[in-house]
Amino acid sequence: MKALLLCVAAMLLVAAPVHAQPHQHHWLSGLGRLFGLKPRPTPTPPMMIPRLPLQAAPGIRVYAPLPLEHDLRLLGAFAPMWINDQEVAILAMRQEHVVLVAFGGDRFQTPSVLLEMPRAQLLNMALSPDRHTLATVATSGDQLTIALRATAGPSPPTPIAVIPGAYRRASLAWLDRDTLAVGVSGAKASSEDAGQSPAESLPPALYLVSAVPEAREPQTLDLECLDDIDPARARWSPDGNLALAPAVNGASWYLLDRSGKRCDALRLKQLVPVDLLQWAPDSRRFMFTAVPARIPAPYALGVVEYDIRSAQATILAAPAGAAVYLGKLGEAVLGSRGITAQSLRTNPGMLAAAEVGWFTSTHAQLKIVPLGVQVQGGALLAAGMLYSDAAGLLAIRLEAPGGGGDFPALLWLSVSLRTGGVLAYGETHGFLAAGWSPDGSKIAVIGGPLDAPAAAILESPHQ
């Protein structure tokens, strides 16, 4: 533990501003050019084997542990979902049912079940913009049912729409406080009984559903590209007008325009998109990860930003796999000047110094802040970041090397002061996920093995 703390103490050193080079329209440009410098020798990683599923770092106050029941196991490494500043929910499994358990009351010690449904039925869920309503889409027989539940205490579901078709997959998103978008694909057989013929093939579809009681039936959003995309993987912009959906061939993306009722294939300059990272708050840009078409390999992963008005894609960093918008302050990208795509190809386990680079919204300036920890280059591409605009803090999740194997660590970094430290760390070979409270005063952390997790509410570090 002492070795890790000494290592992280280097985070208090702030790098001097570095001016970015003019944009070059090839793979290594902007911050990617800086991240492509020749690797330099790195020190031995800290020796540490965490023995608990979850521990807060010294100096970080644990506001309250969450009383998780022993029969709960997690579906995956999903971050806690904040209902409001005084209530947080955990998505888990109890036997064969999906449950969403909220923790509120005095110091988050009172659990209540907001949702319980057979896993085979629940396809997706989404929390409304005001956090007062939980929407779900579930399959039963040959139809999908969209229902609403109030988050203020346990309440029965209120069905608001039915979509015909035995679909296997669905996306669900709030476009505004009164409208939901439901994308469906993957039709299945009408009956699982032996000898029954499959149902007639159902095309993918995109529906608009009103959340207002006694509203009209779901309306289809007719787009010419629906046969070429997977609507069940659509990701909507904050203003609810635009969406990104992958092509069925997986090699490209389409931009869907709800108001203009059109869709366009993105021009990505010989890049193959991998995953959407985040829409910009103004819905005019988005960041995503991609690999070059000529090197479609994980070690060549990079962060790209697409500007909708100019229809231009700009490579921000490579190799890199994590980035986040900082409100109106620009973007932050996680990477290292000590790795290149070539070095990762030959030695993915090489150690490199983790760093955060700041861009302005015009990509004209750049600052690099070293985090003071050494991580494996391949693990750096799988790291993640989340930002609290209310607190002005970044939380950075990465895998740190230890004597018994890699363990997850959660670091914090002040956007204004460029200083930070350790928030928490998890069990060797376990997982760690976190979510900021709406007001930024707390962060909920969950970690450990999926079948025996531990969770706690930590107070945000002092800025």
Residue-wise pLDDT tens digits, 400-409: 888 888 899 9
**Range with the poorest average pLDDT among 278-287, 337-346, 401-410:** 401-410
State which H helix or E strand residue 286 sits in. strand 285-292
DSSP 3-state of 337? coil
How far from the centroid of its chain's Cα atoms is residue 340's Cα?
25
Helices (H), 356-396: 377-380
Query: Which pLDDT does position 352 carry in this prediction?
Result: 94
Amino acid letter, 448: G
Asked whether 136 and 149 are in contact (CB, 8 A), the reply is: yes
How far CA 255 is from CA of 69, 172, 188, 260, 286, in Å, comes to 43, 17, 27, 11, 11
At which residue do the structure tokens 């190809």 appear? Answer: 345
Query: Which pLDDT does position 417 carry in this prediction?
Result: 83
Query: Which pLDDT does position 411 carry in this prediction?
Result: 95
Question: What residue ranges in 392-441 does DSSP mark as E strands?
Answer: 393-400, 407-414, 420-426, 431-436
DSSP 3-state of 8? helix
Spatial separation of the C-alpha atoms in residues 279 and 179, rounded to whole Å: 19
DSSP 3-state of 35? helix
pTM over the 0.95 mark = no
Q: Which residues pair with 422 in a beta bridge?
A: 411
Mean pLDDT value of segment 276-286: 96
At which residue do the structure tokens 């329209």 appear? Answer: 25
232 DSSP 8-state letter: G
At which residue do the structure tokens 């991609």 appear? Answer: 290
How far from the centroid of its chain's Cα atoms is residue 273's Cα?
16
Mean pLDDT value of segment 149-162: 88
Query: Which pLDDT does position 416 carry in this prediction?
Result: 86
Spatial separation of the C-alpha atoms in residues 239 and 300, rounded to whole Å: 32
Q: Which residues pair with 455 in a beta bridge?
A: 446
Spatial separation of the C-alpha atoms in residues 386 and 408, rounded to whole Å: 15
Query: Which pLDDT does position 328 carry in this prediction?
Result: 85
Query: Which pLDDT does position 29 carry in this prediction?
Result: 37
Mean pLDDT value of segment 96-107: 95
Other CB atoms within 10 A of residue 288 CB: 24
Mean pLDDT value of segment 411-431: 89
* Nearest CA-CA partner of 51 in 454, 456, 457, 463: 454
* Nearest CA-CA partner of 339 in 299, 370, 372: 299
Spatial separation of the C-alpha atoms in residues 463 and 453, rounded to whole Å: 29
DSSP 3-state of 255? strand
CATH among 3.40.50.300, 3.90.226.10, 2.130.10.10, 2.60.40.1930 for 2-190+202-459: 2.130.10.10
Asked whether 386 and 326 are in contact (CB, 8 A), the reply is: no
